[in-house]
Amino acid sequence: MSKKPHSHQTAPPVAQGPSAMWGGRFSKSPSEVLQHYSESVSYDQAMYRQDIAGSRAHAAMLARQGVLTAREAETLRQGLDRVQAEIEAGQFAWSMEKEDVHMNVEFRLTELVGEVGKKLHTGRSRNDQVCLDFRLFVSDSLREWQKALYALVRVLVSRAEKNVHTLMPGYTHMQPAQPVSLAHHLLAYAAMLKRDALRLSDADRRIRVCPLGAAALAGTTYPLDPSQVAAELGMFGVFENSMDAVSDRDFALEAMFCGSLVMMHLSRLCEDLILWANPAFGFVKLPDDYSTGSSIMPQKKNPDLCELMRGKTGRAYGSLVSLLTTMKGVPMTYNRDLQEDKEPFIDLSATVFDSLSIMAGMMRELTFNAEAMRSALARGFLNATELADYLVTLGIPFRDAHHYTGTLVALAEKKGVPLEGLSLSAMQAVCPAIQKEVFGVLDYGNAVARRTTPGGTGPEPVRAQIAALKRWLKKAGAQHPKIA
C-alpha cells in the first residue's frame, strides 16, 4: 500500500459561479480560502476504486429496481470504466474545486456520457456514498494488512523451525530468568501476530457493511435495495439504522485500534532486536540493508529501522486518538468534522503495511549468534529454578529449597563460577541432600527439554506450536486464497 497521495497540481482557478453539484441554493461560489481549507480530494482520491465500484453497484441496483433503464445503467457502467482507466493511466485531472473524489468522478463521468451521468446520484447522498467508499477502503486495507501478517508469521515459523534446539536466556524484568529456546521466543511473536490476523478478520465483518440507501440521514423514497449493492460488493450485510449509518465511524476506529495493536507488537519485537544487536548481547547480526551507519563513528551499525518502527508506533496511536477525539463531540448525524476520519486512517494504514513488510524482510535475513546466546546462559544463573525444583523432588519443601538455592547462587557468584561450576562437596555443604545427578539437572539443554507442558519451551511443545501455526496458515490460505 502506498503512502497517502498528495496533489502536486497547481490549484485550479476558483469557479465564478456556485458548485454545479450542490450550488442551486447559492448565488456565490465558496471563497478560495474555504476551498483550500475544506477540500479532501488531495487525499481521498486514494478511494477512487472503491468509489467507482460503489457507483457501478448502485447503478446496477437502480436498473434492477426500475429507477433507471438497463441502457442507462450500462452507459453509466461503461463511463465509470473509462473514468477508472483514465485515473490509472495518470490522465485524470483532479480538481480541488470539485472538493472530493466523489464529485471529481461524477463530474468527469457526466462529461463522458452526457446527461445520464447526472442520474447516477439518484437515491443517494454524499453522506451514505462517503460511508460506503470509506468502509470498502478500510476493509480492503485490512485485507492487505492480513496478507502482510501471514507473510511475517511464515517467516517467524520458518526461523523457529531451524532453532528448536538453539538455547538462549529468557528474561523477566529484563533480568536473566530461565533458559528457553530461540524458537520459543520467536513463536511468542507469531502468537501475537496470529491474534492480530484473527482480530482483523473478525473486525472486517463489522466494517464491510453497506450503508447505501441511508441517503442523507433518513432513508429515501426511491425503491432501493441495499442488499443488492452489498451482494455485488462482497459485503456482509446492510445498515440497521439510517442515522447511524451515515454518522458511524466505529468501523474506522476499530480498524485503527487493530492497527495500533499490530504496531505495538512490532515495536516489542523491535525492542528485542535493538537489544540483541548491541554487542553487550551480540545475539543477532542485523543485515546491512536494514541498518545504517554513523556520520562520525565508522564502526557503528545502527538498528535505525527498528528504532523508526518503534517511533512510528506512537504515530499510529496518535492517529487513533485523533479520530477518537473528533468523534466524541459529534452529534447526530453527519457533520463535516467527519471529513477528518480519512487522513489519520490512510497514514496509519501505510505505516502498518510498510512496517509488517519491512519486518518480514529483516527477520528473513538477520543472522542469529547461537554461541553468544548459549554463553549468556552461564552468566545469569538461569538454571537456579532447576536446582530448586530438584531439591523439591528430594522431599524438601519449596520454601526451603528456594533458600538453599539462593545460598548456592551467592556462593557461585562469590567464586565467579556458574552454578554448575560448583563442586558437589561445596553444594552438599549447604544442602547435604544434593547428589551427583544434580549436574544433569543443571544442564541447560536438559532444563529446556523438561518443559513439556503445552505451550512450553521444550522441543516437543515448540514443535507442536510450529505444527499448529502451519495448520492455521494452511487453513487461512484455503479459506482466503487472495489474502493468505
Domain with CATH 1.10.40.30 in the chain: 384-442
Question: In this prediction, what percent of the chain has a pLDDT beyond 70?
Answer: 94
In three-state secondary structure terms, 5 is: coil
Domain with CATH 1.20.200.10 in the chain: 127-376
What stretch of H or E contains 178? Answer: strand 175-181
In three-state secondary structure terms, 274 is: helix
What's the predicted TM-score (pTM) here?
0.91
Other C-beta atoms lying within 10 Å of the C-beta of residue 129: 25
Question: Pairing mode, if any, of strands 167-172 and 175-181?
Answer: antiparallel
Fold classification of 384-442 (topology level):
Ribonucleotide Reductase Protein R1; domain 1 (1.10.40)
The dihedral formed by the CA atoms of 434, 435, 436 and 440, expressed in degrees to the nearest 10: -70
| 387-426 confidence digits (pLDDT tens) | 999 999 999 999 999 999 999 999 999 999 999 999 999 9
Cβ–Cβ under 8 Å, residues 274 and 307: yes
* Residue 171, C-beta contacts closer than 8 angstroms, at least 6 positions apart: 177
pLDDT surpassing 70 at residue 346: yes
pLDDT value of residue 19: 56
Cite the active site residues. Answer: 173, 294
pLDDT surpassing 50 at residue 186: yes
Cα-trace Rg, the chain:
30
Cα 242 to Cα 85, 127, 335: the distances in Å are 33, 10, 15
Which numeric CATH code is attached to 127-376? 1.20.200.10
- The answer to whether the bond into 333 is cis (omega within 30° of 0) is yes
Q: How far apart are alpha carbons 370 and 381 in whole angstroms?
A: 18
**Helical H runs in 370-436?**
370-377, 384-393, 398-415, 424-430
Domain with CATH 1.10.275.10 in the chain: 23-122
Higher pLDDT, 298 or 268: 268
Average pLDDT over residues 318-323: 98
Q: How far apart are alpha carbons 310 and 313 in whole angstroms?
A: 5
Cα 420 to Cα 258, 401, 438: the distances in Å are 46, 17, 9
Which residue in this structure is represented by grid cell 450550488? 23
Other C-beta atoms lying within 10 Å of the C-beta of residue 311: 11
What stretch of H or E contains 81? Answer: helix 70-88
In three-state secondary structure terms, 179 is: strand
Fold classification of 23-122 (topology level):
Fumarase C; Chain B, domain 1 (1.10.275)
The chain-wide mean pLDDT, for the chain, equals: 93
Amino acid (one-letter) located at 215:
A
Average pLDDT over residues 33-45: 90
- The burial of 91, by beta-carbon neighbours within 10 Å (0-12 exposed, 13-18 middle, 19 or more buried), is given as exposed
| 120-152 confidence digits (pLDDT tens) | 999 999 999 999 999 999 999 999 999 999 999
Cβ–Cβ under 8 Å, residues 94 and 9: yes
pLDDT value of residue 22: 54
- The burial of 16, by beta-carbon neighbours within 10 Å (0-12 exposed, 13-18 middle, 19 or more buried), is given as exposed
Q: How far apart are alpha carbons 151 and 146 in whole angstroms?
A: 9
pLDDT surpassing 80 at residue 311: yes
Which residue in this structure is represented by grid cell 457507483? 55
pLDDT surpassing 50 at residue 11: no
pLDDT surpassing 90 at residue 27: no
pLDDT surpassing 50 at residue 327: yes
The dihedral formed by the CA atoms of 153, 154, 159 and 163, expressed in degrees to the nearest 10: 80
pLDDT value of residue 379: 87
| Grid cell locating 408 | 548456592
pLDDT surpassing 50 at residue 216: yes
pLDDT surpassing 50 at residue 4: no
DSSP 23: G
Q: How far apart are alpha carbons 226 and 334 in whole angstroms?
A: 19
Other C-beta atoms lying within 10 Å of the C-beta of residue 399: 8
